[in-house]
Structure 1
Amino acid sequence: MSAPHASRFGDPSRPAVVALGGGHGLSASLSALRLMTDRITAVVTVADDGGSSGRLREELGVLPPGDLRMALSALCDDSEWGRTWRDLLQHRFSSDGPLDRHSVGNLLIVALWELFGDTVEGLDLVGRLLGARGRVLPMASVPLRIEADVVGPAGERDVVRGQTHVATTGWRIAQLRLDPVDPPACPEAVDAVREADWVVLGPGSWYTSVLPHLLVPALRAALLETTARVVVVLNLTPDDETAGMRAVDHLAVLRAHAPELPVHAVVADPASVEDVDELADLCATMGAQLLVRQVRRGDQSAVHDPLRLAAALRDVVEDYLGDVGTRTGR
């Protein structure tokens, strides 16, 4: 199992990285990772049931394409050609008819799926059109539904179903599930995790974009068995589904849903950490290095800065290589 990691020592400037997530959070990590390497695979959640994606999913029975489209757009070639096609993919219609709020990219992706009958081939074709700096894959081969056990302010309990409802529940999420509970993972995504040098989890909607990857059995097994190093990038601010949660709580929830997952590094912005010592202690119990570094934009908005996040992730990689070099006498 050591062969896949020879690239860390042979060409550390081009690590093979798998980024897990969905939506704007995954776009943020991809925008940073593309500054580090061109060996990127985005593994994207497929549980969206709202907006254009939800309508196409319900009408045609396809995977929701929206988060896949956003990941492809984040990896587009930095040229006039790539940016033009990215803008076209992201363009939304505005009308009083059935096309209202549909994105061109969602329609294009679904059309290619119908033409070729192959989800991965269709996504690869869009990637070629964009000159994408990496590959985008779904985490599962079938559309998923997220379910959550939630607890209200007075201790009352309920079950919330559907990504949109889970994301906006307003109640504390106690436990997460997928329907179906044993979905088939995308084989190419499983292979990518097994062959990776690094796996990046987060940032993003913690319960509806980050944690679902750990609930797909074959993908979870790959994450536990891979020799890749796992990096968790914490969010800058809580969102609706994590209201009231601190940085340490996000990491604790991740550990609760996958206690056996090895985490090697955690990246956090100092303005988002209430108690650095508490977070450092939790990281230590997990065997993870904590890197507290400003990774938000200079205007202090709750948006990751690609250059700063890339620099932080590069430091994590270089620190690990230095530690390995020390241990091996290099």
Structure 2
Amino acid sequence: MGPDLRLVFIGGGSGIASLGPALVRRGLYSYHLVAAFDSGGSSGLLRRHLGGPPPGDLRNRLLALADRSYPATASLAGFLNQRLPEYEEAAREIYARIRGQRFLEAEAAGSMAVVQGLLESFEKKAGPGFPLSGACLGNLALLGGRYLFGSLMAAAALLAGLIRAPAELALVTEEEAELAAELPQGGLVVGQDRLTRLSLAEIKDFFLLDHQGRPVRPSLCPQAREFLSRADIVVIGPGSFFTSLLSCFLVSGLSETVAASGARVVLVPGSLEDPERRGLTPVQIYQIWTQVAGEIIDTLVLDSAWPKEKVSGVETIWLDLPFISGRYQAEALLEALLSLV
């Protein structure tokens, strides 16, 4: 494993983010293509009021990659991860207090001044009446950076430098789109946060919608093509199979770019506890994957709890990976992934 190994991770949510600290501890530089369809919580509120792709998954991944061995960096990452109360009056009071804070550590003072500038940019765009209840400060800072620099990715690059994250990040698409699914009985469920309650076995079809409710295939982010052009290994997952992983491949051009990269492509669906895979076998999962994303997978990595069912056409590896709160133990999974290179 050489020092120039190029690791690219695709997906959203907390599954891949749990690998972040392990990547930092190992001194591995990594590239991340993050899902862009989150519609719940703070991200959903920001999307409804201000439009554009959601910042939540990008912020989650970014902060997971912070080098917290530096006290000032750990303090700044903790600040960006703070979430305001759900009650609007309390949220405004605490936000005003937080905005008045000044870091005593000399190293953190300059970084904090930059973050304060991002928050001021957000405030100017959002206006004084914008609801702050439940908002995450990192999301607000990213949106402030979007208004200053023209994209969430530029804002993420700035914050990555401040928190010493050894990584580059991009959304799979900069275009706004909503994840939706058609049910067998004909109903339509719209919104990533609502679809997490459903198993793929309960869904007839799924797709992306634009802001007018029309089916859309948004364009792949240009940074994604650059990340993948020199990839050695592309890791899809771990994460919620449908809303976090497969949804990324509804973006036009991602499957083709992954296939053309020449990299080893590894799919890590995650644990059997994921409700989105309820009732599906490894063969069914791979069949669904190929229907949506094509035959791009070289290796399928499954925990040993999965049925020992051979999947034709790919190398299937069962690993005894310990779980903590339903997620793979990060160090063990990373070691397994690096052994495939």
Alignment TM-score, normalising by the size of structure 1: 0.82
Runs of 4+ in 1 over 3 A off after TM superposition: 29-37, 246-249
Query: Shift of residue 141 of structure 1?
Result: 1.1
Matches within 5 A, 1:64-213: 64-79=54-69, 80-97=71-88, 98-151=131-184, 156-169=185-198, 172-180=202-210, 181-213=216-248
Partner of 1:7: none
Matched residue SS, 1:38: coil
Counterpart pick for 2:52 among 45, 49, 62: 62
Change (3 A) 1:176 1:34: farther
Question: Percentage identity across aligned positions?
Answer: 30
Q: Which runs of 5+ in 2 are unaligned?
A: 89-130, 211-215
Change (3 A) 1:91 1:249: farther
Matched, 1:38 2:31: no
Query: Shift of residue 32 of structure 1?
Result: 4.3
Query: Shift of residue 255 of structure 1?
Result: 2.1
> Superposition RMSD on alpha carbons, in Å?
2.0
1:267–1:312 CA contact under 8 A, matched in 2: no
Change (3 A) 1:144 1:305: same
Matched residue SS, 1:76: coil
Partner of 2:299: 265
The answer to which of 202-211 and 87-96 deviates more is 87-96
Matched residue SS, 1:316: coil
Query: Shift of residue 67 of structure 1?
Result: 0.3
Partner of 1:326: none
1:14–1:37 CA contact under 8 A, matched in 2: no
2:35–2:57 CA contact under 8 A, matched in 1: yes
Alignment TM-score, normalising by the size of structure 2: 0.79
Counterpart pick for 1:215 among 250, 254, 263: 250
Q: Deviations over 1:286-325 (max 9, x none)?
A: 2x3222212233xx641211110111112111xxxxxxxx
Matched, 1:256 2:247: no
Matches within 5 A, 1:300-319: 301-317=325-341
Aligned-partner Cα distance in 2 for 1:220–1:87: 35
Query: Shift of residue 64 of structure 1?
Result: 0.5
1:93–1:101 CA contact under 8 A, matched in 2: yes
Q: How many residues align?
A: 292
Aligned-partner Cα distance in 2 for 1:294–1:265: 16
